[in-house]
Structure 1
């Protein structure tokens, strides 16, 4: 059955509030699976399986697939579509409320050890309203995935992969933990119903260590958030307002980090953010 037949059979309509746009193009489905670089040993966490069109393809390539679906209406569809795939487990829940590593431990009876640490991959089709929160949730998880393949709005993908002078807080947050690569572009017509904008597939490959060595990760991101809090302002003004620090103190930290106080947040590299955070945190001890 195709997507239209499945929806008619179960008398369902996609929920706009959940950002439900089902990918129906076979070529792009195949590219997503290829981007995940799967082997029979892999454990895959799929977020938002929807009607199971991608899930069935993941199940053929991976050793185990755990699919987390928020919309309970999809559960009977998934049960039927995935009936022949014994290596798939469907969970009804919100990924933002779940610990990915704990979920995998429960569903696979896998016990990590020093000699065999947990390793899993994530494949997800994320609606706009959840994309940033879900990406951060995964990258900052107790045990983050080794590889993440995301289908997101093209604009979100471009923001993740951006470089100076077009950096964003999302780009800094993602690139701090992972290498970013846009591996496919998907036109709106490849989905049903067709969204108003095109999408892209992004592959995030976890770095062995964060891109920038900082003593205080929370402090680093506090500085980054402050810097981007007023993007039209010069850094010294945005940071002073965002951190509640005197402008002269912020200016001194910027100069100590070798950064012109008149620059704006989107022009800084990850390395410059690292130096700036260290200078600001050091001056506040």
Structure 2
């Protein structure tokens, strides 16, 4: 049976499962979208590095990853979905299944690419962790995510938020393709997209984030009336002034 929303729904029903809103579970069910996603991953993949998949789910993306790469950490927090993944991929030497919250995941020692169909509700914390907080950052990110949130990451003045600055100082952001609601189960109310971020860090002054945080939390200030209207270059210039 060709992969689609009905097949996904049937597989969940066979296992007495329904998507859990608590975990923000959504499943990409369009083979063309998954194939395009894999091509984007391949376009920035570096040989002999690791791929880290956020949320293996029912393994639709995982299966395609295993056909193309040989060192994959697949994280899944849900007990029942983890059992399904284990049944499907336990004998696959390319895949290392990890039952863990991605927000608790300890980054690998080797270089890695972070990918996945991510739960919308952890987007902010996920980007903050891997683009700003961890010392060993991924050399690239490929996500299926909320298109509006992707646009926020790319935001320019007067709509340049702190998370926009985190993303833009981390690297180059591109919305590669739209993912319509009909390509996902359950259907979200918003358009999703395949988003690619290539690590190309901007050199920031040591006091950059102290400067940004101060003005965002205390605006309007003498120097900044609207923090969202400053932009990355403007914040660098302001931080360099001390």
Compute the displacement of 1:4 (Å). 2.4
C-alpha distance in structure 2 between counterparts of 1:190 and 1:144, whole Å: 30
1:1-285 to 2 correspondences below 5 Å: 2-37=7-42, 38=45, 41-83=48-90, 85-101=92-108, 105=109, 118-140=110-132, 141-207=134-200, 210-214=201-205, 216=206, 219-229=207-217, 238=219, 240=221, 251=222, 254=223, 261-262=224-225, 264-279=226-241, 282=242
Residues 75 and 92 of structure 1 are in contact (CA less than 8 Å); yes or no, is this contact kept in structure 2?
A: yes
Task: Give the match for residue 246 of structure 1.
Answer: none
Q: SS in structure 2 opposite 1:175?
A: helix
Compute the displacement of 1:239 (Å). 5.5
Residues 42 and 62 of structure 1 are in contact (CA less than 8 Å); yes or no, is this contact kept in structure 2?
A: no
Which segment is superposed worse, 2-11 or 71-80? 2-11
Measured against aligned partners, the alpha-carbon deviations of 1:175-195 in whole angstroms (never above 9, x if no partner) come to: 111111111111111111111
Gaps of 5+ in 2: 2-6
Bigger radius of gyration among the two: 1
Residues 70 and 95 of structure 2 are in contact (CA less than 8 Å); yes or no, is this contact kept in structure 1?
A: no
RMSD: 1.9
Task: Give the match for residue 234 of structure 1.
Answer: none
C-alpha distance in structure 2 between counterparts of 1:63 and 1:41, whole Å: 9
C-alpha distance in structure 1 between counterparts of 2:191 and 2:56, whole Å: 20
Gaps of 5+ in 1: 106-117, 230-236, 241-250, 255-260
Query: What's the TM-score once normalised by structure 1's chain length?
Result: 0.76
Query: What's the TM-score once normalised by structure 2's chain length?
Result: 0.89
Which segment is superposed worse, 79-88 or 184-193? 79-88
User: CA distance change for structure 1 residues 265 and 277 in 2, over 3 Å: closer, same or farther?
Assistant: same
Measured against aligned partners, the alpha-carbon deviations of 1:105-125 in whole angstroms (never above 9, x if no partner) come to: 5xxxxxxxxxxxx31111122
C-alpha distance in structure 2 between counterparts of 1:123 and 1:32, whole Å: 9
